[in-house]
């Protein structure tokens, strides 16, 4: 979002919100697929930018700039998809959400999950890897010993895997899709979670939260050991 706010700041420098600036900002807004909360945040920053610039000699021009800047944001809320989707198990809802997210990945798939033993999910991960999605996996070392663990299979498929070799558990269950959305929740990627356990999955389509998860993943990726 910082780059978009900077564009607004640059556009007010000459006190004119030109057609080229409007087109450039609109394009950036659409490409970033911002949530309603993020659009509202940018709208508040626009007012802050105008307040810093406005004085008795230019208030009409700055008010006009403010109106045009807000017009660039109008209508985007209609294009924003549901920010959070929620699923529960037992039942197939959670697994279906996981498989859908994996299948939608086009560029990258960062997976940080305590245990992976559901072959249907693992096969979808391998499919993503084979269609040139950059896949990385972090898991817990003790769960590698569980019957049915798919970590060895995923590693053998050529997917980079890192594990927690400490006395504690890497207990996260989340995946980042194309650095744009996050799937998380209590649901372990196992058949038991689907068939028997009371679990949940939420899919968050929000850049602010995705960035927080991305930072956590990169931190763990640096700290964990190669499988």
Q: Which residues are the active-site residues?
A: 171, 173, 178
Q: Are 187 and 193 in contact (CB under 8 A)?
A: yes
Neighbours of 189 (CB within 10 A): 24
Name the DSSP class of 144.
Answer: G
CA 114/CA 22 separation, integer angstroms: 46
Name the DSSP class of 116.
Answer: B
Alpha carbon of 121 to those of 172, 179, 224: distances in Å? Answer: 17, 20, 23
Q: Are 126 and 107 in contact (CB under 8 A)?
A: no
CA 76/CA 165 separation, integer angstroms: 46
CA 202/CA 186 separation, integer angstroms: 9
């Amino acid at each position: 979002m910082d780059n978009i706010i900077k564009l607004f700041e640059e556009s007010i420098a000459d006190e004119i919100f030109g057609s080229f600036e409007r087109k450039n900002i609109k394009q950036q807004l659409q490409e970033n697929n911002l949530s309603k909360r993020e659009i509202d945040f940018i709208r508040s920053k626009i007012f802050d930018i105008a307040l810093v610039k406005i004085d008795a000699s230019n208030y009409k021009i700055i008010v006009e700039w403010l109106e045009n800047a807000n017009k660039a944001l109008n209508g985007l809320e209609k294009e924003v998809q549901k920010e959070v989707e929620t699923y529960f198990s037992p039942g197939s809802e959670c697994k279906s959400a996981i498989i859908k997210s994996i299948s939608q990945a086009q560029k990258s798939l960062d997976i940080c999950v305590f245990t992976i033993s559901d072959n249907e999910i693992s096969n979808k991960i391998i499919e993503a890897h084979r269609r040139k999605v950059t896949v990385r996996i972090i898991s817990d070392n003790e769960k590698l010993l569980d019957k049915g663990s798919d970590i060895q299979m995923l590693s053998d498929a050529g997917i980079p895997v890192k594990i927690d070799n400490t006395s504690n558990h890497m207990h996260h269950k989340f995946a980042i899709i194309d650095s744009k959305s996050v799937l998380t929740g209590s649901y372990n990627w196992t058949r038991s979670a689907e068939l028997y356990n009371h679990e949940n999955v939420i899919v968050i389509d929000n850049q602010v939260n995705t960035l927080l998860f991305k930072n956590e993943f990169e931190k763990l990726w640096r700290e964990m050991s190669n499988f």
